[in-house]
Structure 1
Amino acid sequence: MAKSRSSEPASDPRDCRLYLITPPVLPDVEAFAATLAAALDAGDVAALQIRLKDVDDDTVRRAVDVLRPVGQERGVAVILNDNPELAKETGCDGVHVGQEDTPYKQARAIMGPDAIVGVTCHDSRHLAMIAAESGADYVAFGAFFPTTTKEAKFHAEPDLLEWWQSMMTTPCVAIGGITAENARPLVEAGADFIAVSSGVWAHPQGAAAAVQAFGPVLAL
């Protein structure tokens, strides 16, 4: 993933890569850090987004303090959801903003030119083109499948990824209900990154096994 301050693991540039998203609630962040470390050690992961919902800033700071080193020590870009000020303060590699969050240009001004700033674009070609032309490091499309992680108000189809790759060079992230079993069509359609939350953390054999299962699916 572009502009990470930490070094990244080598991978074939044609390969799609994993973009992990934390569960929305982490009752025991230290225990999750051990699970995260095992998952990151199990295969190629480009990025970790820390996305906690309905918690205060101090809870987010605590989570970042524990999880950021786990990712960055392994060359994984650590991205905070929604809050560029907190992302900057806590030493994250970037921030992800939605359409109802801090606007891209404001997030970029806060984070600086070398940070990663990604933008949710739902199923909208128009929003994605605006984000890319403004300088976003990636655009995120979805949801591609039903998801229990968050309410999906938009539904995207694989042909959106095909169109994007034919038109633009800004990387695209596919998100929403993705598992190792259903990811292949999105990879074949041109997703640069596959964003996964419950598809890894809720895997019946554990998060490390889930990351391993994604390996052959993501490599073309």
Structure 2
Amino acid sequence: MARTPPAAAPGANDCRLYLITPPRIDLATFPDDLARALDAGDCACLQLRLKDAEQDEVRRAIDALRPVAQSRDVAFILNDDAQLAAETGCDGAHLGQEDGDHAKARALLGGATLGITCHDSRHLAMRAGEMGADYVAFGAFFPTTTKEAQYHPDPEILEWWSSIFEIPCVAIGGINATNCAPLVEAGADFLAVVGAVWNHPEGPAAGLRAMNAAIAAAPRPVR
């Protein structure tokens, strides 16, 4: 994968879905659940995010899920660990501010994608861009049960970023089909979601379709 984020869907300034795995998964069933979800509509990325899991468990999950994503032209991104991402054929890694040396990760990943969490900070985002991040992530924009959120940016930071920089931005945190429109309108290139898909009452495939429909219906950013 070239060192660029996944391309936008057809049409200018289109936002796309960035899907994150649930905090815990059952490898006996989840690969099939993932396949059904990804077959339901457009998705740019899948991030494997298993906090506090042993590395052997993460490796098994990579082996099981990476082919499901990549066979559907969905970029497979590993959370937290650039070294493991490079070793296991992932399309890239997503790192938080505390996840090691970002410059070393950039060199280690070579042509693969590097995404960096920037919370609500313009300074961190600009620094990430300077060191070669392929996308920056802002959030949490809404209350979320996935992780404890200390930062709550205003959607205006997406508008600011997208009006100045060509590096794509990802919005994250409590995003669902009913609240995502202001983020799309503000200029988010990708919406990262967990519960909106995996906890949808009609199942993950319905959740993914609902997110795609909400993105398509949202006002487009003026750039």
**TM-score when scaled to structure 1?**
0.94
In 2, the alpha carbon distance for the partners of 1:134 and 1:13 equals 27
Contact 1:17 1:194 in 2 (8 A): yes
Secondary structure of 1:49's counterpart equals strand
What's the counterpart of residue 120 of structure 1? 117
C-alpha distance in 2, partners of 1:177/1:31?
Answer: 25
The offset of 1:34, in angstroms, is 0.9
1:204 aligns with 2:223: no
Matched, 1:135 2:136: no
CA displacement at 1:214 relative to structure 2: 1.4
* Unaligned ranges ≥5, structure 1: none
Tell me the SS of whatever aligns to 1:118: strand
Q: What residue identity is the alignment partner of 1:105?
A: A
TM superposition shift of 1:2: 6.3
User: Aligned letter for 2:201?
Assistant: P
* Letter paired with 1:211: L
Give yes or no for contact 1:4–1:77 (8 Å, CA) kept in 2: no
Q: Which residue of 1 aligns with 2:92?
A: 94
Match of residue 182 from structure 1: 179
Q: Distance in 2 between matches of 1:4 and 1:15?
A: 16
List alignment gaps of at least 5 residues for structure 2: none
Counterpart CA distance in 1 for 2:120 and 2:59 is: 31
Report the RMSD for the aligned CA atoms in angstroms. Answer: 1.8
- Aligned twin of 1:24: 23
Moved over 4 A (4+): 7-10
Distance in structure 2 (CA, Å) of the matches to 1:194 and 1:64: 22
Cα drift, residue 10 of structure 1: 5.2
The superposition leaves residues 160-212 of structure 1 with CA deviations (integer Å, 9 ceiling, x where unpaired) of: 11111111111000000000111111000000000001111011111100111
Equivalent residue of 1:18, what SS? Answer: strand
**Letter of the 2:176 counterpart:** T
Number of the residue aligned with 1:106: 104
Q: How does 1:30-45 map to 2 (within 5 A)?
A: 30-45=28-43
1:173 aligned counterpart, secondary structure: strand
SS in 2 for 1:35: helix
Contact map agreement 2:49 2:79 (CA 8 A) in 1? yes
How far the C-alpha of 1:8 sits from its partner, in A, is: 6.7
Aligned to 2:3: 3
- Cα distance in 2 for partners of 1:77, 1:133 equals 23
Provide the identity percentage: 62
Question: 2:46: which partner in 1?
Answer: 48
Give how far 1:107 is off: 0.7
Distance (whole Å) between structure 1 residues aligned to residue 8 and residue 150 of structure 2: 34
Q: Secondary structure at the match of 2:29?
A: helix
Q: SS of 1:29's equivalent? A: coil
Q: How many residues align?
A: 217
**Deviation (angstroms), 1:11:** 2.7
Q: Deviations over 1:69-110 (max 9, x none)?
A: 000000000000000111111110000000001222111111
Q: Does 1:75 align with 2:73?
A: yes
- Structure 1 147/76 Cα, relative in aligned 2: closer, same or farther at 3 Å? same
Aligned to 1:173: 170
Q: CA deviation at 1:24?
A: 1.2
Alpha-carbon contact 1:9-1:44 (below 8 Å) kept: no
Aligned AA for 1:32?
A: F
